[in-house]
């Protein structure tokens, strides 16, 4: 029995805590935060609709500036949602902390009762039956004391059961509190990314205004020049890829199926599919078809890895003057025989050789390279068919993109992303 008393002395020191807020006040604050989050999410959805409407109209400088403004408002609303989420989680952690302290105080009371019961039983254990008989005036008095002792033992059992139940509740509360702390860290990381995306949006607008001098004629000339450079790029790329030899081995690829790859962004709106699309039939891509799929993605949208893997390379074709192709791009090699390309980014957040997880943010959407508006170009390759090289290495053609380093693949190594998403 003595070791139990010693254990009680060691483990029953509970920190004293006084909450400045009642549980009711915390619940009301959490409800208010959630109501604000719901309101902001409705605003975000409204901004999304406006961006869709703008995207369906003819591309003009004012339209592009309007899209940037709406994207910025949407990002600000998302930042507000993240801040409210952080406040809500912090309140929930505070609520759980109060619950934990209340349970510890309750356990302390049970420990006190348990200690008294154990101390009484410990006294009884040290007294022999003869000593008990001699210490009592009558047998009935001894019997009464025996019944009292039995009550102490029953109380001991009740305290033990009560402590065990309280311990289980405490463990659950602490686990929930730790889960909320992890959610808080994730939300804080998301907030930092959203604030960074907002800055990217501001830089894009400043660059556009500086480049066009806020003149529609200048903007249209830039678009025309981009189109001409893009046509040259596609001719060179198709010429090179036609020369590359490759035999597709189905055994080295996963069987086609939904969910093998994750969508590379949260809000999915495909604007052009893979292969011989209507746009391709109109004369685009030198008659070779579209080598990926395009998603509508306002500048600053999080772009995420479709599967865990290794960053094979990153680049920026815009660093080569007059080359309008993929712009800022990321190529990721996955462990199942597939590789994925993410192009036209406004910012790249990963480096060559980096390991990334499924759904990890690798950059932000943009309209670098040749893009008639902000979007994500997403290609899927057979990994053993794609390599990173300078476009002019094998063609020998002198074009603005000859010194641009990009992923290059034989035509047969391009796969339809929709067969894996």
Give the tens place of pLDDT for each residue, 290-322: 889 999 988 889 999 999 999 999 999 988 887
Give the tokens for residue 85.
Answer: 């989420």
**Which class in CATH covers the domain with range 216-419?**
mainly beta
Q: Identify which of 220, 235, 268 has the alpha carbon closest to the alpha carbon of residue 372.
A: 220
Q: What is the mean pLDDT of the chain?
A: 80
The region of weakest confidence among 155-164, 171-180, 246-255, 269-278 is 155-164
Contact 326, 409 (CB under 8 A): no
| Average pLDDT over every residue of 233-246 | 74
DSSP letter, residue 368: -
Give the tokens for residue 174.
Answer: 């602490």
pLDDT band for position 270 (50/70/90)? very high
Cα(386)–Cα(129) distance, rounded to whole angstroms? 91
DSSP letter, residue 59: P
Residue 314 is predicted with a pLDDT of 96
Does the structure show a pLDDT above 70 at 331?
A: yes
Q: In this predicted model, which residue has the larger pLDDT, 143 or 278? A: 278
Q: How many other β-carbons are positioned within 10 Å of the β-carbon of residue 18?
A: 6
- Structural domain boundaries in the chain: 2-204, 216-419
Query: Considering the entire predicted model, what is its pTM?
Result: 0.71
Cα(336)–Cα(411) distance, rounded to whole angstroms? 20
Does the structure show a pLDDT above 90 at 28?
A: no
Give the tokens for residue 251.
Answer: 């055994």
The region of weakest confidence among 14-18, 82-86, 254-258, 410-414 is 14-18
Tell me the CB-side half-sphere exposure of residue 282, using CA atoms within 13 A.
3
The residues, any chain, with a CB within 8 Å of residue 180's CB and separated by 6 or more, are 89, 92, 93, 96
Tell me the CB-side half-sphere exposure of residue 202, using CA atoms within 13 A.
8
**Which class in CATH covers the domain with range 2-204?**
mainly alpha
Does the structure show a pLDDT above 70 at 34?
A: yes
Q: At what angle do helices 23-55 and 61-125 cross, to 10 degrees?
A: 160
Distances in whole angstroms, Cα of residue 285 to Cα of each of 72, 265, 274, 379: 32, 25, 12, 14
């Amino acid at each position: 029995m003595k070791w139990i008393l010693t254990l009680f002395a060691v483990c029953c020191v509970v920190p004293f805590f006084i909450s400045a807020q009642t549980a009711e006040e915390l619940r009301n604050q959490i409800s208010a935060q959630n109501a604000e989050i719901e309101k902001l999410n409705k605003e975000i959805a409204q901004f999304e609709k406006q961006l869709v409407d703008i995207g369906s109209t003819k591309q003009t400088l004012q339209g592009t500036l309007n899209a940037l403004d709406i994207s910025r408002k949407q990002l600000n609303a998302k930042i507000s949602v993240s801040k409210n989420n952080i406040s809500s989680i912090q309140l929930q952690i505070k609520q759980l902390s109060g619950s934990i302290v209340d349970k510890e105080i309750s356990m302390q009371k049970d420990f006190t009762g348990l200690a008294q019961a154990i101390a009484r039983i410990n006294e009884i254990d040290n007294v022999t039956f003869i000593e008990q008989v001699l210490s009592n005036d009558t047998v009935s008095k001894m019997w009464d004391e025996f019944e009292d002792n039995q009550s102490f033992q029953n109380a001991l059992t009740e305290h033990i059961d009560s402590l065990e139940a309280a311990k289980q509740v405490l463990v659950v509360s602490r686990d929930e509190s730790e889960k909320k702390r992890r959610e808080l860290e994730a939300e804080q990381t998301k907030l930092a990314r959203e604030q960074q995306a907002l800055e990217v949006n501001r830089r894009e607008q400043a660059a556009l205004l500086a480049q066009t001098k806020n003149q529609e004629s200048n903007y249209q000339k830039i678009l025309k020049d981009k189109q001409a450079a893009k046509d040259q790029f596609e001719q060179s790329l198709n010429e090179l890829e036609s020369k590359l030899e490759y035999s597709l081995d189905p055994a080295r690829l996963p069987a086609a199926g939904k969910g093998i790859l994750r969508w590379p962004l949260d809000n999915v709106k495909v604007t052009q599919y893979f292969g011989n699309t209507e746009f391709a039939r109109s004369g685009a891509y030198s008659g070779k078809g579209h080598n990926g799929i395009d998603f509508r993605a306002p500048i600053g949208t999080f772009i995420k890895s479709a599967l865990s893997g290794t960053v094979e390379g990153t680049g920026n074709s815009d660093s080569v003057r007059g080359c309008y192709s993929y712009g800022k791009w990321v190529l990721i090699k996955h462990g199942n025989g597939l590789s994925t390309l993410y192009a036209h980014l406004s910012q790249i957040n990963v480096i060559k050789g980096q390991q990334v997880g499924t759904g990890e943010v690798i950059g932000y959407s943009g309209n670098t390279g040749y893009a008639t508006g902000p979007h994500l170009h997403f290609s899927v390759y057979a990994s053993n068919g794609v390599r990173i090289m300078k476009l002019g290495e094998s063609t020998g053609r002198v074009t603005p993109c000859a010194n641009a380093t990009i992923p290059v693949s034989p035509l047969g190594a391009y796969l339809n992303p929709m067969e894996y998403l």
